[in-house]
């Protein structure tokens, strides 16, 4: 199929893009990499009358370190995030998640901001952003505002981004020394959305006690899930096999998957146990 007819705009500044969104309201949509919006338009599941392409807006594509934070421009492509030396050294879990996004063509065109705003609960990137409690900077006519992942992801395909705002930056913590992280995904085939996926980041103290742990899951709720009860099972304890099994069991209990073509809810809950355990062990093996 082909999309319905629409008007196309290519603004060259954030302010110009915001003006177009204000002018056309709910009949307008932002086009970032187009890897989600364009297929939806072809299937006519989305039919915006006005498409605002921000691909020519400068200053939205970067990866840099600022203090203990990593700043990523919303128009930075999945491939650029995946291959960034800074991301690999300070936030490996994000690089690993990006390597699972679609195929190489999708990663070359799709953007981290576009994936976040699309808010598919089975997508790879939102699970990591949730695990690390990423911060989202949104720019509108009244200026900038910043919210955390807990507030940003609100429901399936729904975020806190207002209709006349643009996501301009994502901020993540650089993992401190004695940290390890991993992203593991259970999928039907390469490039598919997750049946279950787990983003894990662990920080130990010098005595080997779990100082901090972050767990984000994809595919088990209407939004990316932060497995807080599982984190509590590990924080302040030695991450031995018993503690890891307890964390995996708690994550399974907290998850609320739906039965669909990828499996029953009961099956997915069992896979949560398996992949939380594997992700935690992989993250711990990388602590250095």
pLDDT-based confidence at 189, cuts 50/70/90?
A: confident
Instruction: Write a three-state SS string for 275-287.
Output: HHHHHHHHHHHCC
pLDDT-based confidence at 192, cuts 50/70/90?
A: confident
User: What confidence tens digit (pLDDT) does each residue in 105-158 have?
Assistant: 999 999 999 999 999 999 999 999 999 999 999 999 999 999 999 999 999 999
Q: What is the mean pLDDT of residues 250-269?
A: 94
User: What confidence tens digit (pLDDT) does each residue in 207-236 have?
Assistant: 999 999 999 999 999 999 999 999 999 999
The pLDDT, as a whole number, for residue 288 is: 75
Pair 122, 194: CB distance under 8 Å? yes
Average pLDDT, the chain: 95
User: What confidence tens digit (pLDDT) does each residue in 21-53 have?
Assistant: 999 999 999 999 999 999 999 999 999 999 999
Pair 75, 111: CB distance under 8 Å? yes
With residues binned 3-state (H G I as helix, E B as strand, rest as coil), the percentages for the chain, rounded to 5, are 35, 25, 35
The pLDDT, as a whole number, for residue 191 is: 66
Domains of the chain, earliest start first: 7-53 (3.30.43.10), 63-173 (3.30.465.10), 182-285 (3.30.390.50)
pTM value is: 0.94
Classify residue 63 by burial, with Cβ atoms within 10 Å: 0-12, 13-18, 19+: middle
% of residues, the chain, pLDDT over 70? 100
Pair 87, 43: CB distance under 8 Å? no
The pLDDT, as a whole number, for residue 187 is: 86
Per-residue pLDDT at 91 exceeds 80: yes
Q: Give strand ranges (E) for the chain.
A: 7-9, 28-31, 50-53, 63-66, 69-73, 135-140, 143-148, 153-155, 158-159, 166-173, 179-186, 196-204, 210-218, 225-226
Cα dihedral 126/217/197/79 (nearest 10) = 20
Per-residue pLDDT at 262 exceeds 90: no
% of residues, the chain, pLDDT over 90? 94
Q: How far is CA 241 from each of CA 132, 247, 252, 278, 286, rounded to the nearest angstrom?
A: 23, 10, 17, 11, 16
Pair 117, 167: CB distance under 8 Å? yes
Q: Which of 126, 115, 118, 124 is nearest to 150 (CA)?
A: 126
Classify residue 12 by burial, with Cβ atoms within 10 Å: 0-12, 13-18, 19+: exposed
Question: Within 13 Å, how many C-alpha atoms sit on residue 90's CB side?
Answer: 19
Return d(Cα 53, Cα 31) in angstroms, integer.
Answer: 5
What are the two backbone dihedrals, phi and then psi, of residue 273, each rounded to the nearest 5 degrees?
-60, -50
């Amino acid at each position: 199929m082909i999309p319905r007819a629409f008007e196309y705009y290519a603004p060259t500044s954030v302010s110009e893009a915001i003006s177009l969104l204000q002018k056309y309201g709910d009949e307008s949509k932002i086009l970032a990499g187009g890897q989600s919006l364009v297929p939806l338009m072809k299937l006519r599941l989305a039919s915006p009358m006005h498409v605002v392409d921000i691909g020519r807006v400068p200053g939205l594509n970067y990866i840099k370190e600022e203090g203990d934070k990593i700043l990523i421009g919303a128009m930075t492509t999945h491939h650029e995030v995946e291959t960034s030396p800074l991301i690999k050294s300070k936030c490996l879990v994000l690089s690993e998640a990006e390597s699972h996004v679609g195929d190489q063509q999708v990663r070359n065109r799709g953007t981290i901001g576009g994936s976040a705003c699309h808010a598919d609960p089975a997508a790879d990137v939102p699970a990591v952003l949730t695990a690390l409690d990423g911060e989202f900077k949104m720019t509108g006519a009244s200026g900038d505002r910043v919210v955390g992942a807990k507030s940003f992801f609100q429901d399936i395909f729904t975020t806190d981004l207002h209709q006349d705002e643009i996501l301009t930056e994502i901020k993540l913590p650089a993992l401190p020394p004695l940290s390890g992280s991993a992203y593991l995904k259970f999928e039907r085939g390469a490039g598919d959305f997750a049946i279950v996926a787990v983003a894990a980041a662990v920080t130990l103290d010098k005595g080997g006690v779990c100082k901090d742990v972050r767990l984000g899951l994809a595919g088990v709720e209407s939004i990316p899930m932060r497995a807080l009860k599982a984190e509590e099972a590990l924080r302040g304890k030695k991450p031995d096999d018993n503690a890891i099994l307890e964390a995996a069991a708690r994550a399974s209990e907290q998850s609320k998957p739906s039965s669909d073509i990828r499996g029953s809810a009961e099956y997915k809950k069992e896979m949560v146990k398996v992949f939380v355990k594997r992700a935690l062990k992989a993250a711990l093996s990388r602590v250095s």
